[in-house]
Chains A and B, each alone.
Chain A
Amino acid sequence: MAFWTLYKRELSSYFQSVVAYIVLFGSALAQGMVFITLTNFIAQQNYKDQSVFQIFFTCAIFWILLFVQVPLITMRVFSEEFKLGTIEMLLTAPVREWEIVLSKFFGALTFFLILWLPVVLDQVALQLFSNPPPPVSWGQYGTTALTIVLVGAFYVSLGVFTSVLTKNQIISAVLCFALIFATFFVALQKWQQHLDAFTLSWISYVSLLEHFGHAVQGLFDTRPIVYYVSMTAFVLLVTQRILLGRRLKG
């Protein structure tokens, strides 16, 4: 099936470019530094309320990292093909538009998840080298990993969408960053004064701050799953329509 062919090509193309290795290196370095800092903080302050892992996925640096990573990964997916003209080869092959969009999306999502593997290693190292080792809580790991996948999928879909709009990678990255930031901005509105209960419930429904807050506690909630999956599907559908529109409308 064309999807697999394209997906394999998409994923391998990340490892053919220098940018990917730099993003990978930068992410691993930042994640490691934050992890070490938090570990030291907990050890020195004798802080007992939260684990390193729980603070990590709710602290500001985590968001910054997330917001920068995604545009860097997705900015090239379509923009580069437009710029180099290779889109012409791609679109004149007997391939459906949704196969192209999905392969680019899953390729980028896979690479995004690879970027978060170093955190697993950090956690493993913490278990191995600290005395006594911190308690293992698979439930929390599971819900956090799921939330990373869901939020990642939504953000990557936004990046794929902004990439299909332009052949300029910088524009694509900046637009993607703006859209991602907008979703975060909505979550921040929670602290506004004089909000009625209805608005508040909506904010908390879409707030990724709350989603991660719950996830690190091992709370399994189906509402964010529905939210992220449906949003991702919607954005990808719009992307597919835009790509298809190029062929249909003269």
Chain B
Amino acid sequence: MIEVENLSKTYSGVHAVRNISFHVNKGEIVGFLGPNGAGKSTTMKVLAGYLPPTDGKIRIAGYDVITESLEVRKRIGYMPENVPLYTDMRVNEFLRFRAELKKVARRRIKDRVETVKELCHLKDVGSKIIGTLSKGYRQRVGLADAMVHDPDLLILDEPTIGLDPNQIRSVRDLIRDLGKHHTILLSTHILSEVELTCGRVLVIHRGRIEASDTPANLTRLVRGGGSILLEVKAPSADVVARIQPLPNIEDVEIVLPGTGDWTVAKIFAKPGVDVREDIFGVVRQNNWPLRELARVKATLEEAFVELTQD
């Protein structure tokens, strides 16, 4: 659905995006993840045909973004960051206006507007002036606008920013639902959101793509995908000294050195190896009283921090 090859974008000498390439297949929900100023919005603006790329080739649904811009724009629903809307219009009026602009057949306009209002929970504000709506509602009007012509591809720049937790959940469900029939590229900093909605994550940092994988695989990348938490009654030095030499152990980190006599250690093993049995062996040999031996899965947050740290 999206094919980006060697895309670069420079704003008056500053590289916002450097030579990135990625593909998004039909039906995928892809999350664009990265710190502020990483180049997420810029990339999305270029994909939506709003900004021209400095260099590179982009095809959406087989059409070139620059030379066949109109065809591309017919097929995408783009929701920009900060959701700029005509604040003097009423919600119904605005959605009807946008549907007309996006060439929705006249007889289907009413139907489509009602449908997207239903989906975005805008039923009760249809006759309100957009300027009087709260941030959360405006956000949803922007989302409704992006979907009003039932596009093949949705490009959503921070769709849940400014929403309250309930609204975030409902937008998340909505996106997951939409993902059954649409291709979606969304950007966000909220990691739990990516984990719950996206099939694949593109981590972008300083204008470069640092990783592209499923959320699960990304977390596996981080120090073998997780660690083992061990809490025993023993001196910290002993714990490190006995466990470190075991096979397949990469690192032993003391989290809490002896509250009382208790030591909490984080043990990192080689990827794909379960070392819990070996560790338990050590504990039994030394007769350490054991309080906890648990596997801790790495979070996407850790992956994110690791990938985007300077």
The answer on a CB contact under 8 Å between B102 and A94 is yes
Q: Taking the complex as formed, is A5 at the interface, i.e. its CB lies under 8 A from any CB of chain B?
A: yes
Set of chain B residues within 8 Å of A88, measured between Cβ atoms: 45, 50, 80, 84
**CB 8 Å contact bits of B35-53 with A (1 = contact, 0 = none):** 0000000000100111111
* Given A17-B88, A250-B10, 18 extra CB contacts under 8 A: A2-B101, A5-B97, A6-B101, A13-B88, A85-B80, A85-B82, A86-B85, A86-B86, A88-B45, A88-B84, A93-B98, A94-B70, A94-B74, A94-B103, A95-B73, A246-B52, A247-B66, A250-B55
Closest chain A CB from B22 CB (angstroms): 19
A-side residues, CB < 8 A to B, are: 2, 5-6, 9, 13, 16-17, 84-89, 91-96, 246-250
Residue of B55, B84, B102 contacting most chain A CB atoms (<10 Å): B84
**Cross-interface CB contact of A250 among B53, B70, B73, B86, cutoff 8 Å:** B53
Known contacts A13-B86, A89-B84; A247/B49 CB under 8 A: yes
Q: Return B72 CB to nearest CB of chain A, in Å.
A: 9
Contact B49 A92 (CB under 8 A): yes
Beta-carbon contact of A247 and B52 below 8 Å: yes
Q: By the criterion CB–CB under 8 Å, are A250 and B52 in contact?
A: yes
Judge whether B210 is part of the interface by a CB distance below 8 angstroms: no
- A91 touching B49, Cβ below 8 Å: yes
Q: Give, as a whole number of angstroms, the nearest-CB distance from A104 to chain B.
A: 14
Q: Would you mind naming 25 contact pairs between A and B with Cβ atoms under 8 Å apart? A: A2-B101, A2-B103, A5-B97, A9-B97, A16-B88, A85-B82, A86-B84, A87-B84, A88-B84, A89-B84, A91-B49, A92-B76, A94-B70, A94-B74, A94-B101, A95-B73, A247-B49, A247-B50, A247-B52, A247-B69, A248-B66, A250-B9, A250-B10, A250-B51, A250-B52
- Contact indicator A250/B101 (Cβ below 8 Å): no
Per the 8 Å Cβ criterion, residues 77-112 of B in contact with A are 78, 80, 82, 84-89, 97-98, 100-103
Of the candidates B49, B78, B86, the one having the most CB atoms from chain A within 10 angstroms of its own CB is: B86
* Interface: B54 (CB within 8 A): yes
The smallest C-beta distance from A77 to any residue of chain B, in angstroms, reads 13
B54 and A93 contact, CB distance less than 8 A = no
Contacts of B48 in A (CB 8 A): 92
B158 located at the interface, meaning its Cβ lies under 8 Å from any Cβ of chain A in the complex: no
Nearest chain-A residue to B100 (Cβ)? A5
Per-residue A-contact encoding for B3-15, CB less than 8 Å = 1, 0 else: 0000001100000
The reply to whether A92 and B86 form a contact with Cβ atoms under 8 Å apart is no
Beyond A2-B101, A9-B97, A248-B66, is A92–B78 a contact (Cβ under 8 Å)? yes
Query: A167 to chain B: closest CB distance in Å?
Result: 12
Closest B residue by C-beta to A86: B84
Whole-angstrom distance between the alpha carbons of A87 and B51 in the complex?
Answer: 12
Q: How far is the CB of B49 from chain A (nearest CB, A)?
A: 6
Instruction: Give the shortest distance, in Å, between B162 (CB) and chain A (any CB).
Output: 15
The reply to whether A91 and B50 contact each other, CB–CB distance below 8 Å, is yes
Interface assignment of B145: CB less than 8 Å from any CB of chain A: yes
A94 vs B82: C-alpha distance when bound (angstroms): 21
Residue numbers in A under 8 Å from B66 (CB-CB): 247-248
C-beta contact mask, B171-189 vs A, less than 8 Å → 1, else 0?
0000000000000000000
- Does B84 contact A85, Cβ atoms closer than 8 Å? yes
Nearest-neighbour CB distance to chain B for A154, whole angstroms, equals 28
**A91: chain B residues within 8 A (beta carbon):** 49-50
Q: How far is the CA of A87 from the CA of B82 in the complex (A)?
A: 13
A85 vs B10: C-alpha distance in the bound complex, in angstroms?
Answer: 20
Q: Are A93 and B86 in contact (CB under 8 A)?
A: no
The residue on B at minimum CB distance from A84 is: B84
B52, B87, B98: the one within 8 Å of A249 (CB): B52
- Residues on A with beta carbons closer than 8 Å to the beta carbon of B76: 92
